[in-house]
Amino acid sequence: MTNDTATAASATVLPLSPGNWALDPLHSSVGFTVRHLGIAKVRGRFERLEAELFVGERVEDVRVSATVDLASIDTGNGDRDAHVRASDLLDVEKRPTMTYRSTLVSGEGEDWTMEGELTIGEVTRPVTLAVEFGGLVDVPMDGSRHAGFEATGEIRRSEFGLDFAPGLLGEVVKIQLDMQFVEPKNA
């Protein structure tokens, strides 16, 4: 990062209060899309995830981490899900989780970019996500403040050792995260 870039990032005003924001799991999801036979898309999601958002005083201090339980895959077809979990495909016994850890967050307003490292099994690769900040709202029922985000990106299966079923499944997997976080009580 050049000095001009670092200065611009430091000058960005963060719309979130500093502290550890808690994931609202009831209003958050991790979805994906992959091509089947090259002609149609199969959509799915993961039912179990954990995530943390730490907001510091500066953009450089923002950190995001997430862990997804790969056995919680749901494509709307139980037989397909069981097959995807099996040892000849995703092999959730060997690869029970997928984790993401941010390394750099930049942007302003509604449009942000998050660079980070995605780990599936024993393979870690850099993955950049485009992040849209959906805004802040005070929830009338309990007075808590929620922040909403949508993050999108893509990975190449073969880069993570998931090169099973070439020709049957597409190489590129598109990822979409819809996340809500709750402001720390001490903010």
Of 131, 129, 143, the closest CA to residue 183 belongs to 143
Please give the structure tokens belonging to residue 144.
Answer: 């808590």
Q: How big, in percent rounded to 5, are the helix, strand and coil portions of the chain? A: 15, 55, 30
Distances (CA, A) of 177 to 136, 148, 151, 167: 17, 11, 5, 26
Q: Mean pLDDT across the chain, nearest whole number?
A: 89
CA 94 to chain centre: 21
pLDDT tens by residue, 36-91: 898 899 999 999 999 999 999 888 899 999 999 999 999 999 999 999 899 888 89
pLDDT at residue 60, as a whole number:
87
Distances (CA, A) of 183 to 12, 109, 141, 147: 20, 18, 15, 8
Q: Across residues 7-23, what is the average pLDDT?
A: 74
Identify whether the C-beta of residue 163 lies closer than 8 Å to the C-beta of residue 173: no
Contacts of 14 (CB under 8 A, 6+ apart): 55, 57, 58, 59, 62
Residue 135: other Cβ atoms inside 10 A: 11
CA 6 to chain centre: 25
Residue 96: other Cβ atoms inside 10 A: 14
